[in-house]
Amino acid sequence: MFGKRSATTDAPRASQGPSSTVVEAIAAPVAITPQPTIPQPAPAPETRRSDEYYQTKGAIFGALIEAIDLSQLSKLDAESAREEIRDIVNEIIAIKNVVLSIAEQEDLLEDICNDVLGYGPLEPLLARDEIADIMVNGSTKTYIEVAGKIQLTSVRFRDNAQLMNICQRIVSQVGRRVDEASPICDARLLDGSRVNVIAPPLAIDGPALTIRKFKKDKLTLDQLMRYGSISPEGAEILKIIGRVRCNVLISGGTGSGKTTLLNCMTNYIDLDERVITCEDAAELQLQQPHVVRLETRPPNLEGQGAITMRDLVKNCLRMRPERIIVGEVRGPEAFDLLQAMNTGHDGSMGTLHANSPREALSRLESMITMGGFSLPARTIREMITSSVDVIIQAARLRDGSRRITHITEVMGLEGETVITQDLFVYDITGEDSNGKLKGRHRSTGIGRPRFWERARYFNEEARLAAALDASELRE
């Protein structure tokens, strides 16, 4: 074994001189000097029974760091580094006469490898594709969301210092930081999963880490149709909307599937179009060959250098985009996005938080007003109606299921009122014996939507007529 000394020696740790940020990152969470921690609530009985395991793991972990040369470890690929760590840990266990069953030893080896090379206790959760969200509330409580329901897990961290080190490791990979001076941070994992960290002193019971995971296999509208999120006719209408370059807003509450639906809609963008995405933390994964991905930047330690979403959207207009995709509209960038939609960038899309299509329009107006634009209300509404073609409403129902509840057209302005019409709506009809909500998607019977001429221009008129006719026959 390379660079290894006996785990039983009392000599001070060898100077290892790590030469890369990777080595610095894996060295950070393994300091064995006592760390001050925020007081924790009394552990649950199942946690209390595992304290001995964590003490054993801590002792072996400290011996491992004394025995291994991290500068050499950083030069190995992930699999070779994992095997090297396993060999050293097995020898430490033998030297220290630690009594473990084969299963316990395997769990310990896997935990230690994850601590050194990955994200520690989070690794098993990140590997499970059915998990939608991971929510860590301090070192002792970790929740997950599966099938729309939140569950408490047995995952825990050694202490808040270990959790904070893992948070720092995650955000540093995308050039961001989280500490007492900057305790709130949005970041992402390498696979595009969205990460939010809020650290002490703002988070009283220890760092709070939230990860919105992305599925390895990206969902499509056809899959959403099979899951019952949308009817076959509704899915066909959405495909046509994406294809004929309608300007689309996807509205919904937290966790309703807005970003997933936005990803699905972008599948129907032509391969020869130049698409520019603007996001706070880059998570959209478009499959087109000509995509430019932009990401906002927080201020530095001096409070300078911040790049806002509005800066990105304004810069987009100088980059010859054909479509602009905004991950989430939440501020004055709404004005610039509407300007882009209204000046030749048809087919642009964005998401926003709202509970109905009508509320989405009100929120859009509010965001423009709060952005400091001193425009009359009628002028703003005229801009909205001339820019936005379709609002798609997504919702997470109380049984955890996700449904597309409205496909709504923005028709125009009558007096001071924005006129909309629903093409498809979802009606809840009851509840089964298992507590699952029952419902149906239905067409409202609109024979010719407002984008009919646009569909004709793109030679999709027959397909649109067939989808509308099929929905009426189903009724």
Nearest to 62 by CA among 83, 34, 24: 34
The region of weakest confidence among 25-39, 56-70, 179-193, 312-326 is: 25-39
Residues 139, 114 share a domain: no
pTM: 0.75
User: Distance between CA atoms of 258 and 294, rounded to whole angstroms?
Assistant: 19
Quick one: 314 and 272 in the same domain? Answer: yes
Residue-wise burial string across 58-91, b where 16 or more C-beta atoms lie within 10 A, e elsewhere: eebbbbbbbbbbbbbbbeeeeeebbebbbebbeb
For residue 237, the one-letter residue type is I
d(CA 410, CA 22): 51
Which has the minimum average pLDDT: 138-142, 221-225, 368-372? 368-372
Shared-domain flag, residues 20 and 107: yes
In tens, the pLDDT along 386-410 reads: 999 999 999 999 888 899 999 999 9
Is 194 in the same domain as 45? no
Token output for 123: 């690794």
Would you say 185 and 196 are in contact if contact means Cβ atoms under 8 Å apart? yes
For the domain that residue 469 is a member of, what is the CATH number? 3.40.50.300
Matching residue, tokens 């990105």: 312
Contact in structure between 176 and 185 (CB atoms under 8 Å): yes
Do residues 174 and 263 share a domain? no
Of 13-27, 28-42, 250-264, the range with the highest mean pLDDT is 250-264
461 — pLDDT class (breaks 50, 70, 90)? very high
Say how far apart CA 16 and CA 455 lie, in whole Å: 65
Is residue 199 within 8 Å of 164, Cβ to Cβ?
yes
The mean pLDDT of the chain is 82
Same domain membership, residue 267 and residue 393: yes
Nearest C-alpha neighbor of 57 from the set 108, 101, 104, 7? 108
Residue of 238, 455, 248 whose CA lies nearest to 345: 248
Domain boundary, last residue among 102, 118, 134: 118
End-of-domain residue from the set 118, 135, 157: 118
What tokens appear for 181 in the block?
A: 């001076």
Band (pLDDT 50/70/90 cuts) for residue 475 is: low
pLDDT of residue 2: 43
Confidence (pLDDT) at 471: 67
- Give the closest residue to 1 by CA, choosing from 72, 61, 79: 72
Instruction: Kindly state the tokens that stand for 216.
Output: 């390895």
Average pLDDT value for residue range 317-335: 90
Could you tell me if 150 and 137 lie in one domain?
yes
- Whether the predicted pLDDT of 250 surpasses 60: yes
pLDDT for res 460: 93
Q: Tell me: pLDDT of 466 over 50.
A: yes
In this structure, are 301 and 438 located in the same domain?
Answer: yes
**Residue where a domain terminates, one of 75, 95, 118:** 118
- Cα separation, 187 vs 167, in Å, equals 10
Tens-digit pLDDT profile for residues 94-134: 887 777 777 777 877 877 777 777 788 898 898 888 898 99
Pair 257, 266: CB distance under 8 Å? no
- Domain range for 159 is 119-214
pLDDT tens digits along 273-319: 999 999 887 888 887 889 999 999 888 777 788 899 999 999 988 89
Report the pLDDT averaged over residues 174-200.
87
Identify the pLDDT of residue 50: 57
Q: What's the total number of domains in the chain? A: 3
* Same domain, yes or no: 307 and 392: yes
